[in-house]
Amino acid sequence: MKERPPGQPALSAQSNQRAVPIPQAIREAAAAYARGEWVEAEQTCRKILELRGDHFGALSLLGIIAAQTRRTEEAADLLRRAIAVNPADAAAYSNYANVLNELKRFDDALASYEYSLKIRPDYAEAHNNRATTLRRLKRFEEALDSYTRALEIRPLFADAHSNRGDTLLELKRFEEALDSYTRALRIEPNLARAHNNRGLTLQELRRFDEALDSYARALKISPDFAEAHFNRATALHELGRFEEALESYALAVKIKPDFAEAYNDRGATLQTLGRLEDALESYALALKIKPDFPEAHNNRGVTLHKLDRFEHALESYERALRINPEFARAYNNRGLTLQELKRFEEALDSYTQALKIEPDFDWALGTRLHMKLHLCDWSDWDSCIADLADKIQQGKHATPPFSALAFVDSLSLQRQAAETWVKAKCPPSHLLPPIAKRARHDKIRVGYFSGDYRNHPVSMLTAEMIERHDRSRFEVNAFSFGLDTQDEVRKRMERAFDRFMDVRRTSDIEIVQLARSMELDIAVDLGGFTEGSRPNLFAMRAAPLQVSYLGYLGTSGAAYMDYLIADSTIVPPEHQRYYAEKIIYLPSYQANDSKRAISSRHFTREELGLPRTGFVFCCFNANYKIAPGTFNSWMRILRQVEDSVLFLVADDVTVQRNLRKEAAERGVPGDRLVFGRRLPVPEYLATYRTADLFLDTLPYNAGTTASDALWAGLPVLTRMGESFAARVAASLLNAIGLPELVTTTREQYEGTAIELAGNPGRLAELKDRLHRNRLTMPLFDTAQFTRHLEDAYTQVYERYHADLRKV
């Protein structure tokens, strides 16, 4: 029997009591580790350490095994002891640093990598792992340098190429990231993680089909790769393949039952499908796994908002913000819900918080400014608008397009804002195939799409038009995706259509499939970009011909909207270049209801809070239409017209306080502003009889309220601007035969108001002409308007079937 060297203890195997020298034992432990027999390797290392507690090899190997079996604190202790035994071993420092990374002791890990690299500067693994630590510390450029050094030493280092791609992905340098993943996969084609992350990069580039291919490759290599199933689901969601996305989420959570992120994103897909209660259940599962998951609380709030459970939505946002006080999206969504509850000051504060955290948060700048308009808070207004206009011109996500209508009287800026929104939120969709050319129908099939079939201006204006459609030539269908309020206007609209479909809980793609199955010829969007609208219906193309009308006063900026209805006052020929749509010109633009009842009640001035004597100017436009420039004109008018007052509607005390403060700053006592209260429509119309002249707003004119005033016999004075919304009142006045009440400059607007207030005879003549014209001029001739509209529908329908270009 060969004797062991002096001082060299041996291990004994229990089976035959064979003595094994420590060098041989450590080799056997290493071999067992390499075979994956970690338990045997660990037992051998522990026996070595019983004999020699400072054995470097046993400490190192046991530390590695402890790290890989998630005994991280133990691993750190073992590797620290190994380094103390042999401070010249580069691998020990590197392994120790790896464990420190797991313990989130990143600065200590960096120091250990530095020691490793001082000993061995060409240690590629240490450069690679050091870079990963730098990435965790958000020191991305330094991380890239470290990956580059690793690859200079070892050009075929697949992990380093892949990790470099991960860093470039975080830096949003997507094309460079793709190149790194491609290099990694050329070296190691079975690197599932690189395939997965390459898919994520392609997804960021909106190359979703290619992303799906990358995820498929990752899953072929590793079928139980839960994250790849999850990422595949998100790509399928983006492609509108929602049912397939749900299947992939199901696979992800089957493999990884505690995958809270998958339950969260599954909720978003269910929400898109209109399965709101199912979405809530999915968010609940995410939060059961991970109660401190702010994104899930936020998304739950969004779903509750969609269910009109606004107070519960606020609770969810508050929970999200308690967990993450820097969660800009939750502040923004909280603002939207508070706005729905008419808690405007709180909403403004929420939007302000979102922007404070994330100054470039998508669309929040315009949303916040619009809320300031709702409150008539014009602090720093000029600088805010200049900043907004600059961001719109740069194509930044600065404002929803609807808000822009009230900010700027610029067709070019409004089109840019709309195009930016469409590109980001509702681009042309290819989820469904193009609509094949159809045979002619006996009747032209028209679908009116709206979220406002209720006591809302859109329905009030269009109700009689719908009723008057010629049913021998047209089939008229309603697609309703707004509240079912069951008020009288809603009931009237339900009766007016041939078919009224409540599709509020139906997904966009299902609505479009329904419209296509009905073979609609013309789809009319009555919402545009107003609250509750669903432009993605038109992005998927609900009908061969798509028309924008009434709800949104501007261009959609979308190639899939074929036509926009207007008249030559609103869109003169020289303005057509600012519109993405072709213009359908009607003799007059706005539909009206000639059946609207005006209460026979004659309010006294005292009943409405007005003084017994003096001239009464009024404007019942929404408060957000009152821009500072308009208010400046109003105050100059009041200063010139002695004992005059301005009659407004504002049931928010903050708005009243702000407007009275602004008046006082302009030399007009605050009590010369009188605020009316909300009344039932017939009584509201009757209040116009107590006023002498309606003063319009710019850049967002009166539309329905101008028609209301004219229907009630009150002249409207407008100042016409450039944009669609700034020319609507001029269109109405031309259609009622009062063109002299259309002004084009501030001086003309103010001078006409002052002149009429001091010339009772001229004002009486205007009122008399308005009374005579009311039932003879086009504005309230709904039967004639409907015929003109039907002629336009017929013309575009015939051109479509003749394969002619849009006119």
CATH level 3 topology of 10-245: 1.25.40
- Specify whether the CB–CB gap between 690 and 605 falls below 8 A: yes
Q: Where are the CATH 1.25.40.10 domain residues in the chain?
A: 10-245, 269-407
Domain with CATH 3.40.50.11380 in the chain: 444-585
Spatial separation of the C-alpha atoms in residues 274 and 268, rounded to whole Å: 10
Q: Using 50, 70 and 90 to split pLDDT, how confident is the model at 651?
A: confident
Sign of CA dihedral 452, 456, 461, 466: positive
- On whether the CB atoms of residues 649 and 676 are closer than 8 A, the answer is yes
Specify the range with the lowest mean pLDDT, choosing from 124-133, 467-476, 555-564, 798-807.
Answer: 798-807
**Cα(473)–Cα(201) distance, rounded to whole angstroms?**
52
Q: Within its chain, how far is the Cα of 564 from the centroid?
A: 24
- DSSP structure class, residue 178: H
Report d(CA 304, CA 313) in Å as an integer. 5
pLDDT tens track for 287-299: 999 999 999 999 9
The pLDDT of 156-176, averaged and rounded, is 96
Q: What angle do CA 507, 511, 515 make, to 5 degrees?
A: 170
Distance CA 590, CA 461 (A): 8
| Cα–Cα distance, 424 to 399 (Å, whole number) | 12
Is the pLDDT at 2 greater than 50? The verdict is no
Predicted pLDDT of residue 798: 96
Binned at pLDDT 50, 70 and 90, residue 11 comes out as: low
Q: Which CATH architecture has domain 444-585?
A: 3-Layer(aba) Sandwich (3.40)
Cβ-based burial of 154 (10 A; exposed 0-12, middle 13-18, buried ≥19): middle
Helix (H, G, I), strand (E, B) or coil at 543: coil
Starting at the edge strand that comes first in sequence, how are the strands of the sheet with 693-695 ordered? 673-676, 645-649, 616-619, 693-695, 716-719, 742-743
HSE-up (13 A, CA, CB side) for residue 182: 8
In angstroms, the CA 268 to CA 263 distance is 9
Given a cut of 90, whether residue 13 has pLDDT beyond it is no
Task: Name the amino acid, one letter, at 526.
Answer: L
Q: Report d(CA 779, CA 65) in Å as an integer.
A: 85
Beta-strand relationship, 742-743 and 716-719: parallel
431 to each of 45, 239, 338, how far by Cα in Å?
A: 60, 7, 34
- Please report the pLDDT score of residue 6 as a whole number: 37
User: What is the DSSP secondary-structure string of 710-725?
Assistant: HHTT--EEEE--SSST
The angle at the Cα of 461, spanning 458 to 467, to the nearest 5 degrees, equals 110
Question: Where does CATH 3.40.50.2000 sit in the chain?
Answer: 606-780
**CATH classification (class only), 606-780:** alpha beta
376: left (phi over 0), alpha (psi -120 to 50) or beta: left
The set of residues, in sequence order, having a beta carbon less than 8 Å from that of 735 and lying 6+ positions away, is: 567, 587, 588, 589, 590, 777, 778, 779
User: Each residue of 546-567: pLDDT tens digit?
Assistant: 999 999 999 999 999 999 999 9
Q: Which residues contact 517 (CB under 8 A, 6 or more apart)?
A: none
Q: Which of 134, 139, 137, 131 is nearest to 162 (CA)?
A: 131
Candidates 485, 479, 487; CA nearest to 445 is 479
Do 580 and 555 touch, CB atoms closer than 8 A? yes
Q: Which DSSP category does 379 fall into? A: T
What are φ and ψ of residue 694, in 5° steps? Answer: -90, 125
- Does the pLDDT of residue 273 top 70, yes or no? yes
Q: Per-residue pLDDT for 14 more than 60?
A: no
Q: Please calculate the CA angle 345-482-430 and round it to the nearest 5 degrees.
A: 105
Structure tokens at 182: 């491609």
Average pLDDT over the chain, rounded to an integer: 95
How far is residue 552's CA from residue 525's CA, in Å, rounded to a whole number? 9
Q: Is residue 115 within 8 Å of 89, Cβ to Cβ? A: no
pLDDT tens readout for residues 509-532: 999 999 999 999 999 999 999 999
pLDDT tens-digit series, residues 578-618: 999 999 999 999 999 999 999 999 999 999 999 999 999 99
* 3-state SS class at 706: helix
Q: Is 269-407 assigned to CATH 3.30.420.40?
A: no
β partners of residue 480: 450, 502
3 state SS for 419-435: HHHHHHHCCCCCCCCCC
Are 615 and 643 in contact by the 8 Å Cβ rule? The answer is: yes
Q: Please check the confidence at residue 17 and state whether its pLDDT lies above 70.
A: no
* Among candidate residues 365, 356, 359, 358, the one with its CA nearest the CA of residue 392: 365
- pTM score, two decimals? 0.87
Helix ranges (DSSP H) in 308-410:
310-323, 328-340, 344-357, 364-374, 381-393, 401-407
247-266 pLDDT tens trace: 999 999 999 999 999 999 99
